[in-house]
Amino acid sequence: MRRLLNTRWIGTALVILVLSVACVQLGRWQLHRLDERTARNHVTTSNLAAAPTGLDQIVGPDRVVGQQHDWRTAVVTGRYDATKQVVVRYRNVNDKPGFEIVTPLVLADGSAILVDRGFLPREGGKLAPATVPPVPAGEVTVTGRLRRSEHGGHTSGGTPVDGTARLINGPEYAPVLGLKLYDGYLTVDHQEPAADPAFGGFPGPEIDSGPHFFYALQWFFFALLAIGGLVYFSRQDVRGDDSGDEGEEGEDDPEPVPAGPADRGLRADRGPADGGPGRD
């Protein structure tokens, strides 16, 4: 047991225990993400099945498209403001790079909502679409899916610069475009007058459990592997100590001397045992 009480072994054991606890916590975090994704999938499924409804009946007076509204079908009527159109770059639809054209739709009350009119595939290495289909003149009725504003961490991709951006974000577009925008946007499913056929549509949401459950199993396995290794090598060290102790105790015992044959030789003061002549 003396080997298990040295500083180096204790430090190693503590590190392994800390790593095991960290693995368990990461596994629990993955299960928590799985619960969140399951709840989000339930909301998305319900919203996809809901009937088209007026925008003002779905989103409250705060004009914020929240998670509870994501993928809900809304109907809105207004006029496009093509002078404040934004080309969203670095987009990818069905593994095809390209651009999305976002145009504000100004409503009767003076507010506006960003409308993603569609996807245009990139031609060669061009950094901008060759042509952008014009907006319909006059009043337009759009039926589409509500989406939350996109966020890119600490990047400024949601702020339009020279009519281009990397993200679609209502609050960041608003001061640049000078409009009272909804916090969120709308993708076109149907439009009257009809949208230009040059625009491509968008795929629906991914409704699955993702890899979170299997990631959690992996983290739990790593924790068990670390604890099992610690126990195994501890037992090996204990067995090594026991063998060493037995060897040390054996060294103190005198080595037995094997018994030799009886001394049948002559003594100086005696004759041979059979009565023969002795020494002079």
**CB burial class (10 A; 0-12, 13-18, 19+) of residue 205?**
middle
Nearest CA among 204, 192, 162, 255 for reference residue 44: 204
pLDDT at 43 over 70: yes
Structure token digits, residue 249 = 């105790």
pLDDT in tens, 189-238: 999 999 999 999 888 888 878 889 999 999 999 999 888 887 877 777 66
Tell me the mean pLDDT in the region 8-22. 85
Rg (the chain; Cα; Å): 41
239 pLDDT more than 80: no
Residue 61 is encoded by which pair of tokens?
């007076």
79: part of which helix (H) or strand (E)? strand 73-80
Contact between residue 20 and residue 231 where contact means Cβ atoms under 8 Å apart: no
d(CA 181, CA 104): 8
d(CA 70, CA 78): 21
Distances (CA, A) of 162 to 57, 173, 184: 34, 12, 21
Q: How far apart are CA 25 and CA 34, in angstroms?
A: 14
The structure's pTM equals 0.71
**What are the tens digits of pLDDT across the range 149-166?**
998 766 667 899 999 999
Residue 49 phi, psi dihedral angles, 5° rounding: -85, -10
Distance, in Å, from the CA atom of 237 to the CA atom of 230, rounded to the nearest integer, reads 11
